[in-house]
Amino acid sequence: MRMIDIIEKKRDKKALSKKEIAFAIEGYVKERIPDYQMSSLLMAIYFNGMTDDEATALTEAILKSGKIMDLSAIEGTIVDKHSTGGVGDKTTLVLGPLVASCGAKVAKLSGRGLGHTGGTLDKLESIAGFNISLSTEAFVDQVNKINIAVAGQTSELAPADKLLYALRDVTGTVPSIPLIASSIMSKKLASGADVIVLDVKIGEGAFMKTLEDARTLSKLMVKIGENFGKKVIAFITDMSEPLGYAIGNKLEVLEAVRTLQGNGPSDLQVLCTEIGSYLVHHAGITDSLKEARKMIEKRISSLEASDTFKALIEAQGGKIPDLNDYIHTEGIIAVKSEYAGYVERLNALDIGLAAMRLGAGRETKEDTIDQDVGIVLNKKVGDKVEKDEVLAYVYNNKEDITEEIKTILNAFTITESIVEKKPLIIEIIE
């Protein structure tokens, strides 16, 4: 078998066999196949796509390039959730403890953020002492004890994915649905969960820009999961405006805590309740989604979900923060509206970029995050605004944030007409 033959076959719009895909991935990981040949194959896939069987074979090849976590010692059905990313997305911080408090086993491997704000690990590490480096034994033991553990992904899981993504990033082949699907699903399958809910976001602040692309990606990932004997559900959710009000690591932890106490923003609470209902129900804890929803609402009102989050922090060496003395910045600046009317549009990408430039995110992997800075919105789409009323608060440690304030102001479009709020959850695919 030769790599050139595989490249030409995909170039000519023919389906690759499972053996050909395995040969290419294994050869690349073992450095028998050079970057320029793998780049050619990736570009051929970008232009010509893949069948569901090809995408499944690619997922399997990436999955088999490394270790698969052995979570068989965990007692019960293991659940996991993955988001394709967005602005203000602190869902895991709420959803994990919420589902765990209902009795589901949450074994969550997360990553760091590159872009608007930090990833789940960055947010958790803003809590003093929180340890994200757990051995498999400690990880499993913790899940059995308190139903939840959140740790960093190891380099041993799906190493081919890291190599391929680095190459895709510099060859313009990142936005390919089969390549995205195989990347996400190989890591989720390597993590060992039985039930996986995918939160596929669309809009200006998300990777997927259209409903059609989001639906295609979701259906493919659900199909791949099915082919591996896993229960996978995909939520397509709106990310045209930020999720919740807080953007920035400590600010998002604070909002997550308030949500677990029943005082969070309605969009975040609705999303976590709905995704959580599917995870709890498919974990076999309830006979129906309706029962699962009631259970989740009860866990919030009783503060059991909040207590589970505290247990997670303590189990991983963290110190439960004093919420009144958690965030430290040089100043908080109010960004005020220049017009009266209604918020017609709130560009999530612009808000995310402003937060990143304040120091809440990374432009490169080497950048250091400032855990305290960020943006707290005061108005969102559909809200009425008076002239000189506050649109957002900027938590800042920089001397000059003129450009960031300008970006935030430009993110808001104010109109004279009443604006209806759009639904957050657009579609659920099983």
- Residues labelled catalytic: 82, 161, 168, 183, 187
Q: Which of 352, 327, 284 is nearest to 104 (CA)?
A: 284
Q: Which of 92, 156, 99 is nearest to 124 (CA)?
A: 92
105 forms beta bridges with 78
Tokens 């560009």 -> residue: 347
315 is written with which tokens?
A: 């189990």
Angle at 93 between CA 91 and CA 96, to 5 degrees: 90
Q: What is the DSSP letter of 323?
A: G
227 is written with which tokens?
A: 């082919």
3-state secondary structure of 307: helix
Tokens 């809910």 -> residue: 197
Beta strand 331-336 pairing with 341-346: unpaired
3-state secondary structure of 93: helix
Residues 218 and 212: their CA atoms lie apart, in Å, by: 10
Beta strand 246-247 pairing with 384-385: unpaired
Q: What is the DSSP letter of 157?
A: B
Residues 113 and 117: their CA atoms lie apart, in Å, by: 6
Q: Report the phi/psi class of residue 411: left, alpha or beta, with left for phi > 0 and alpha for psi in -120 to 50.
A: alpha
Residue 372 sits at φ, ψ, to 5 deg, of: -90, -25
Under a CB-based contact definition with an 8 Å cutoff, are residues 366 and 313 in contact? no
Q: Which residues contact 187 (CB under 8 A, 6 or more apart)?
A: 109, 153, 157, 158, 161
Residues 367 and 359: their CA atoms lie apart, in Å, by: 9
